[in-house]
Structure 1
């Protein structure tokens, strides 16, 4: 079952249960995927769908951070709910230990010895962790492990 089919089924469930907040978020995700399909002119691969869902998650996390800084507890609650909905469509997130293992392997494979090799390491790590870990977290761990 493709992501769009799953979203359509979940939208129907949200409509039947009159869950307006979840319905709005699901529709935004669906619209994002459909817009990308229109721009591309063909169906998206599962990897491309994952990229779009990851982008939605990143936007919501950034919004949550901004709302917390501004002290807007009402919007923090909404953003947190949105994150929980979007998380359903992402693969299970990697633990810190799993991430460190992947990063350590990448460092060894490119013979990284200093921060000059940061880009090479990230180039190896990011495809392996796509959608399974936050980019900022990966960035921080790579910097920590290289130095």
Structure 2
């Protein structure tokens, strides 16, 4: 079953169970998926759906930080709930050890040795790790690796 169908089925289940907060989050996700399909005139595969989920998760995390800064903990709590719902549709992430191993391979293949080479290294890593690992975490690991 494709990820999009699974999200749609979960939305129907949330409707039947009258889980309004979960239903709202799933509707937002399906709307973002459909918007991307209409904009690009394509049918999204699972990898593209995961990219949409990643984008929405990033937006929610940014919102939580801003709401907490403004002392709006009620809104931050609602965003955290949406993060929980959206996280269920992400594949299991890679361990830090696996990510470090891939970074080491990329450093060896590109010859990166200083922080100035970070862009070149990230260009190699992004296709390998996008959707499988948090790219912010990868960036931190690359910075620490090149800083040594």
TM-score by length of 1: 0.93
Partner Cα distance (1:116, 1:62) in 2: 27
The aligned counterpart of 1:67 is 67
What residue in structure 1 maps to residue 54 of structure 2?
Answer: 54
Structure 1, unpaired ranges of 5+: none
Please give the per-residue CA displacement for 1:97-145, whole angstroms capped at 9, x wherever unaligned. 2222221221111111111211111012111211222222211111110
Indicate the residue corresponding to 1:104 in structure 2.
Answer: 104
Distance 1:104 1:83 in 2: 31
Counterpart in 2 of 1:133? 133
Q: CA deviation at 1:65?
A: 1.5
Aligned length: 147
1:77 is displaced (CA, Å) by 1.2
- Shift of residue 70 of structure 1? 2.0
* Structure-2 separation of matches of 1:80 and 1:133: 20
| 1:82 alignment partner in structure 2 | 82
1:7: how far off?
A: 1.2
Task: Tell me the distance in 2 between the aligned counterparts of 1:3 and 1:30.
Answer: 11
Matching residue of 2:26: 26
Shift of 1:94: 2.1
* Residue 13 (structure 2) aligns with: 13
**Which runs of 5 or more structure 2 residues have no equivalent in the other structure?**
none
What are the residue-to-residue correspondences of 1:115-134 with 2, within 5 Å?
A: 115-134=115-134
Cα RMSD (Å) of the superposition? 1.3
- Provide the rounded CA distance (Å) in 2 between the counterparts of 1:132 and 1:80: 21
